[in-house]
Structure 1
């Protein structure tokens, strides 16, 4: 009685073995599809808050913020030189809109939430970190500027407060336009109430250089309520 192996000529056995080896190599080296995910952005949450032994935390609607569970809230830190400013960095997907609030936690573990409505943030790769005030509702500032641009240029606004990037072009806030509204560029951003803000517009060129508008700094006083609407023309 012959086995199957005995019935296969040695030459064919070599061919079969080579085929099995090649199949194994193809299985190992074949490219696999990779799941695409949104780009994560490091967002700085900062708040001005005086404390009496408490620590500051932030919680919100995203899992990275603890999903409103105080036990999973993200702690903020401060130093002797930075106090009363508390801050932390959290990675969130670009384009995600989250609601959040700050929490004070006492040495005994009891927590106090801010009593104002939920804060809102849309994560932007170009946006600066937050510079909030404990229990103070920020005012929405609507920027509109008429500005002609060349292909590849984009409009931004920056100013003397951290909410506008503190004059750092890398942290300036983006404005947008489209075929229906061009050459008007617009954007809404949160600013601290009761504050006099200086600001200017700038263009970012395709080669990463920056062009600031001419003239003195623009100035606006942000009232405690309502919306500050700014209608400007590039200088």
Structure 2
């Protein structure tokens, strides 16, 4: 049945048809005023991406000097002394200077300390760039000494050329805990794509100045493991920077 659009005999619009629309509009306006846009509220509640990293460096200074840190990410000023991050100290903690930063997880950061004198002169450490692998598991703390190379974990990149059958994947394992300690279940996964296949690449954090034994393996869809032939491969991590190895499955 179709309802008439006006009251019989008057020609006036039916008022009841407008009430639900007016009530809905008024309620929506009231909720928007009180609560604000839903999308904005959700965006404000999101936590910024990053991992807290506390830097601590022991550095003696002259009155008026400031110790700063800069490095390879925007959070560290991208190697620009004018954007370097200042560290702080006080009478109780001097000569230790500290700062806590939020850095992107799962990658290696290069960094260096510098001093800015009271007249604005910048003095850099004269050691190679420091390197640190930012963990994804939680807050990290670095304890450095001015102009002394540190012993922080560095990034190791493993690349090997290996042909596979559908469902197979390539891993690397070795004698260090970071490589799974020869346990296939804890081996480091490598990845590939149709653009680079049959090259497989993966990375992990390894201690510096350390002899490493390692080997590649394939895992089949049924869970069985195939190790490559030959003796264990060997390499030594550098004191800082990145270790990169290029191999071929054997």
TM-score by length of structure 2 reads 0.49
| Equivalent position to 1:20, from 17, 25, 44 | 25
Q: Say which SS state the counterpart of residue 15 (structure 1) adopts.
A: helix
| Equivalent position to 2:56, from 16, 28, 46 | 46
Compared CA separation, residues 60 and 13, structure 1 to 2 (3 A): same
Q: 1:74 maps to what in 2?
A: 85
- The 8 Å contact of residues 153 and 206 in structure 2, kept in 1 or not, is answered as yes
Compared CA separation, residues 92 and 188, structure 1 to 2 (3 A): same
How many aligned positions are there? Answer: 159
Q: Say which SS state the counterpart of residue 18 (structure 2) adopts.
A: helix
| Equivalent position to 1:136, from 148, 157, 174 | 148
- The 8 Å contact of residues 133 and 153 in structure 2, kept in 1 or not, is answered as no
Compared CA separation, residues 91 and 8, structure 1 to 2 (3 A): same
Compared CA separation, residues 15 and 99, structure 1 to 2 (3 A): same
Q: How does 1:185-196 map to 2 (within 5 A)?
A: 187-189=205-207
Give distance in 1, aligned partners of 2:146 and 2:79: 17
CA deviation string 1:72-107 (max 9, x = no partner): 211112233433221111122333532211011111
- The 8 Å contact of residues 38 and 93 in structure 1, kept in 2 or not, is answered as no
CA displacement at 1:176 relative to structure 2:
6.6
RMSD over equivalenced CA pairs, Å: 4.0
TM-score by length of structure 1 reads 0.52
Instruction: Structure 1: state its 5+ residue gaps.
Output: 1-5, 143-173, 192-223, 227-235
Q: Say which SS state the counterpart of residue 56 (structure 1) adopts.
A: strand
Give distance in 2, aligned partners of 1:68 and 1:175: 30
Report which stretch shifted further, 14-23 or 102-111. 14-23
Compared CA separation, residues 9 and 97, structure 1 to 2 (3 A): same
Q: 2:19 aligned with 1:11, yes or no?
A: no
